[in-house]
Chains A and B, each alone.
Chain A
Amino acid sequence: MNRRFSAAVDYTLALAALLFVWWFATGPMALPTFLLPSPLRTWNALVTIALTGELWLHLGFTLQNIVLGLILGCIAGIAIAYVMTRFPKLAVWLDGPLVILQTAPKIALAPLFVVWFGFGVLSKIILIFSLVFFPVFVGAVAGFRTLDPKMKDLSKLLGLSAVQRFRQIELPAAMPEIFVGLKIGAVQALVGAVLAEWMSGKVGLGYLMTFASATYKTPLLFAAVLMTVVLGLVLHVALTILERRLLSWKGAKNG
């Protein structure tokens, strides 16, 4: 309780510091609005679209894509990582294509995703999925690989079924590393969602950004950027709380 409270204080302080720097850059340092609008102008732009209800439409759409992509990427990442650590022979063949597919910069392919997968929400989800997948996958592989051999002995001894071994031993043991991947994946999901909307579409925070950027409505642009950052922070905090819950057994240092 107390700790959570102090965490909230820290976040607030940090945000206040950021706000101050922002204010300083636009006030005393006099950066022009078209480069960086003042916090007040941005706030006004935000309030304006919040009042018309437009904001919630965009926000909801982006959030929905993020959550969908995150869940799918997460499931696939963990599943494929598991299969590959269980069957190293398969990994020889799958590893290369997976890595090549992943290191291919999505931003370059994003426009093509639209022609490949259509204008609908599918191409967006696929883009987000493809960005989330890899961090979770790599994290899960690391987690499954570092499994304590004593745990392997135990599961072998108890003759656990594949499902039991996964559920009861391998998954919990790999959790810390999976969470590393998940936290990066969450950020990537956000980046992917915005990117997808940037490339095509008529709704979402990314769309709001292209629109604002092309029409030089910089306060609106930064209002949208602000919303993405807030979204990122919320996702991060949610994952951190979940992590603390699930990994309390680790007795983390400074937990």
Chain B
Amino acid sequence: MKTIFYFLVFPGFLFALIVGMVASYIERKVTARVQWRVGPPILQPWYDLLKLFTKESVVPENAHLLTFLATPVLFMVSATLVAMYAGMAFFFPDAAFQGDLIVIVYLLTIPPICLILAGAASANPLASLGASREIKLVLSYELVFWMTIAVIWVKTGGELSLVNIMNKPPVMYSYSGGIASVLALFVMQAKLGRVPFDIAEAETEIMAGAYIEYSGPLLGFFKMGQYILLATLPFFISSIFWGGVNVFKYVALLVIVILVENTNPRLKVKQCLKLFWFILFPLSLVALILAVVGL
């Protein structure tokens, strides 16, 4: 019962959703300010969501209905699970379990998969293209992500628990940890699907990619999942690299995401792959070697 409370209300669904909506508001507002605009009102994410849930859902004729309906919900659920595990380690250290690090990282791959399946099930060429881009994006950043996690393991002596990692001195204050934490920022940007890594959504190229056929509540589930991820990922990165979370660290990470988003054009899939595999991966290898050496 307690677990279900964790899951649905506090650090899980409701909490993460609200934080995510605030974060999304901050994102849109700061973006607007950077672009000399006023930006939306504070309740805008809430209005968007509410509106989506009052609309009807249209499903393409040729789509596979069950997959089409289930993937958005699964997207949201898996994002919530991540939020819950990450949040529990911070708010209820006693209830957290050993080795949640790997579990969280693994769970983080589920939302992209739901997106891919959703795109594939839409029976739309542009959605398929979006799905194919998303999976390539996952392939690109996953390697670097694991490398940065490995740096943490080495620095903390094989620690698999978020609570223990947060209790140790922050990883980022070392050469290897510094490099790894910078790389993790790239990964976070990619995982959030923000510019320059918004290749899977690329509105001006493939309309909305995998989301193209989604409407109404189904799109609303995706939106909720995205808000939750937006709330969770900076939280997670901050807790493993910056030695815990507080409002300042969180907002700082959010601002980094927003600034990068607003000062870069979108990359191509190939360039993305090249960036992660041939530039960032060797860097992460250097970080790992440094970590093993003890720097």
Question: Do A and B associate with each other?
Answer: no
The residues of A with any CB-CB pair to B shorter than 8 Å are none
The residues of B with any CB-CB pair to A shorter than 8 Å are none
